[in-house]
Chain A
Amino acid sequence: MKGYAGKYLTVDLTRGKTSIGRVEESMAINYIGGYGFGARTLYDMLPNPAQIDPLSPENVLIWWTGPLAGTISTAGNKYSVFAKSPLTGIFGFGISSGLFASELKSAGWDGIFFTGRSEKPSYLMIDDDNVELRDASHLWGRTTWETEEMIKEELGDESFTVASIGPAGEKMVRLANITNERNRQVGRCGLGAVMGSKNLKAVAVRGTKDVEVFDIEGLVRFIADLNERCQGPATEKYRIYGTPANILVHNKLGCLPSYNFQRGTFEYAEEVSGEMMLKTHVKKIIACAGCPIACDHVNQAREAYEGATSSVDYESLALLGPNCGIGNLDIITKAVEICDTLGVDTISAGNVIGWAMECYEKGILSKDETDGIDLRFGNGEALLEALKRLCLKEGKLGSLLAEGVRRASQIVGRGSEKFAMHCKGLEWAAYELRSLQTSTLGFAVSNRGADYLRSGSYQVDVKGQVDRLRLDRSRGKIVYDGENIYAIIDSLIICKFTRGIFKSVDEFAKLYTLVTGLSMTGDQIIKAGERIHNLARCFNVKCGISRKDDYPPPRAFEDPLPDDVVKGAVIKREEYDEALDGYYECRGWSRDGIPTKRKLLELGLNKEAEEVGVEA
């Protein structure tokens, strides 16, 4: 089979030994790559995940790319990382893009498995077949950007691509992420903390081999067509204003999280809009390797924090901005820079600090507990100081925030759990819960916790195709369909910004066959998507997940939105339960949200049917 390198690297960090594993064709056809490979291998390598402490040497850290990486496939250069998450205690995974995935494939590897724990800080160097664990003591404490520069210099070759953790990962901050090429992150689930717990500072890779393609001529022709489509209306929003274009749209719809999700509109939305950002702060729009769209808007701060530079996307902007009451793009640009260099997920950070601000304003957290910081909404200096402490686990505040919003609210108590905005311990992203209800269902059932990237179910809400202020049984199918398609997108791995470009899943199957030579139909590939989703759910069931965990936080049910445009919006419990039932029914799961034996057997997940499946 082509496309795939056909092998993966295993690194036993405890013994400092490496070995090689094969990627079989049956694995390829059934699980595709990326998310699918990650679900399969995480499930297999952690058969008793409930027993595993995610920050212990017993956890595994698995990296996978997909069959498309390293070819000219449209926006197809991505890699994914998996582990039991130290933030959520369940299936942890994230995807990042850039040259790294292309280089890994070109070096001759589909993936890397890290087990155990290195005695001293180390980094892995992959230079085609030559792999070496090198000392990283001199890199420990360095930011992600510094680490990348220093490794390239040390190896004497700028063509190495580096993925690394910052001080936050080293200190095992539960929100820690992994950064490659400065602006790209495996953001969520605290996977950077898993790296830190293994004393693994970075992975540096250089590849010089040809990446084999089955029908290279056919691929190039298909890509020419796809790339042309990518210059059309379906991607305009990404190319011009970027995802920050959402700020004003969401504000108009009353679904822009503000003041820790207390409101859905923000009085300074114009000041932090994508329109304003393009006018005053965007210095350059750059692209990931192989991408014809180019959505990465890189800001440079002006008066205050002059020179602070960071790539600012909607999520970072909304959660460090309106969600914290901040209406200033300089502050937000600086905040994102802090997160990217010290190595923390902007979404989780913005969310937990917003929570802390609400606690402070309500007198639940005292000034002593915030290390003397006046942590009011809208206080930009306080935001930046709180962020730094979070990243470095400094002070009482830093240590508290570094735990993530679920644990922090459990530690603090005093009613703060009611407005800790998460699901399964993963902080809610910048989509309001009460005014985008199909979105909320998608978030709440997602395999890694509160997450829209697994179903994109907000789309029917914002396109007016359903009543976004109500829920009914039919929403389950919308989430189900979205999840299956997105599972494929996340396994190929291709960028979701191309979703308006592909005419049908048959085109995904076509792309797959052009690259790999393995026959695949649209039906087969969607079935694989369903299989992958179920497998990740089985892992979660082993971690104790069931229906009780598939709910949004209390605020969604108890605090009606005050904004004029969506006044009184709230989720009705009975409607939510009905929609959830509808979802489980589509999924072929029990009323308690557990995959049935029959469904798992239908998908060829025989072992899982026995271990996890329930009778219908």
Chain B
Amino acid sequence: MGEVQVEFIGRFRELFKSKNTIIEVGSEISLLSLLKKLSEKAGFDVVSHFLGSSGEPMEEYSLIILNGKAVNLRRLSEYVVKPGDRVVLSPSVAGGG
């Protein structure tokens, strides 16, 4: 048993009404499962912010940072999280270019 620290940036702060939260996990779970647990906690479909209705990655819309590394939304299903990990849910980078 352990904790995954989840932090929020941008619209996720509005949606979760908080800057961060904690999710208890037994051992390793998939990142997708974590997002589903967050959905249960928050009462809205978190996954829909990252994958569109046909499963297409919403790279211009959102970003996940896992332990300081940007998650490749095209391979979202391959990522796992374990106790002690840090996850950030964020809007995508909006540069001038």
Contacts and interface: CB of A to CB of B under 8 A. Distances in A.
Main secondary structure on chain A at its contact with chain B? helix
Given A237-B91, A240-B11, A463-B59, A253 B70 contact: yes
Interface in A401-458: 431, 452-456, 458
B17 to A, nearest CB: 13
A241 B10 contact: yes
Contact of B65 (A242, A246, A252, A452): A252
Given A241-B10, A464-B73, A233 B95 contact: no
A465 B58 CA distance: 13
A353 interface: no
A241 to B, nearest CB: 6
Interface in B54-96: 58-61, 63, 65, 68-74, 88, 90-96
Contact of B97 (A245, A275, A456, A461): A456
A241 B96 CA distance: 14
Given A252-B88, A275-B10, A462-B63, A245 B68 contact: no
Given A252-B90, A464-B72, A315 B10 contact: no
B52 to A, nearest CB: 8
Interface string B28-48: 000000000000000000000
B96 A315 contact: yes
A240 B91 CA distance: 11
A284 interface: no
A137 B72 CA distance: 57
Contacts of A241: 10, 91, 94
A343 to B, nearest CB: 19
A345 interface: no
A242 B70 contact: no
B28 to A, nearest CB: 19
Given A249-B9, A463-B70, A565-B68, A456 B90 contact: no
A236 B95 contact: no
A464 B94 CA distance: 15
Given A234-B61, A468-B70, A313 B96 contact: yes
Contacts of A249: 9-10, 63, 90-93
A247 to B, nearest CB: 9
Contacts of A315: 96
Contacts of B95: 243, 246, 314, 431, 452, 456, 458-459
Contact of B94 (A242, A452, A486, A565): A242
A566 interface: yes
Interface string B11-23: 1010000000000
A250 interface: yes
Nearest to A458: B95
Contacts of B92: 237, 249, 462-463
Contacts of B10: 237, 240-241, 245, 248-249, 274-275
Nearest to A313: B96
Interface in A240-280: 240-243, 245-246, 248-250, 252-254, 274-275
Contacts of B63: 249, 462-463
Given A464-B72, A496-B96, A233 B61 contact: yes
Which of under 10, 10 to 19, 20 to 34, or 35 or more describes the interface residues of B?
A: 20 to 34
A406 B10 CA distance: 36
Nearest to A564: B68
B66 to A, nearest CB: 9
Nearest to A454: B97
A140 interface: no
A80 to B, nearest CB: 14
B94 A253 contact: no
B73 A463 contact: yes
A500 interface: yes
Interface string A213-248: 000000000000000000001111110111101101
A241 B9 CA distance: 11
Contacts of B74: 465
A565 B68 CA distance: 5
B97 A253 contact: no
B69 A464 contact: yes
A486 B97 contact: yes
A455 B95 CA distance: 12
Contacts of A248: 9-10, 90
Contacts of B96: 243, 313-315, 452-453, 496
A30 to B, nearest CB: 24
A252 B91 contact: no
B93 A500 contact: no
Contacts of A235: 60
Most chain A beta-carbon neighbours within 10 Å: one of B58, B70, B92, B94: B94
Contact of B93 (A462, A465, A564): A462
Contacts of A486: 97
B43 to A, nearest CB: 20
A464 B60 contact: no
10 contacts: A234-B61, A243-B95, A249-B93, A252-B9, A275-B13, A314-B94, A314-B96, A459-B93, A461-B70, A565-B68
Interface of B: 7, 9-11, 13, 58-61, 63, 65, 68-74, 88, 90-97
**Which 9 A-B residue pairs are closest in the complex by CB-CB distance?**
A464-B70, A500-B60, A565-B68, A233-B61, A237-B94, A464-B72, A453-B97, A234-B60, A462-B93
Given A249-B90, A275-B10, A462-B70, 15 more contacts: A233-B61, A234-B60, A235-B60, A236-B91, A237-B10, A237-B94, A238-B94, A313-B96, A453-B96, A455-B97, A458-B95, A463-B70, A496-B97, A564-B68, A566-B68
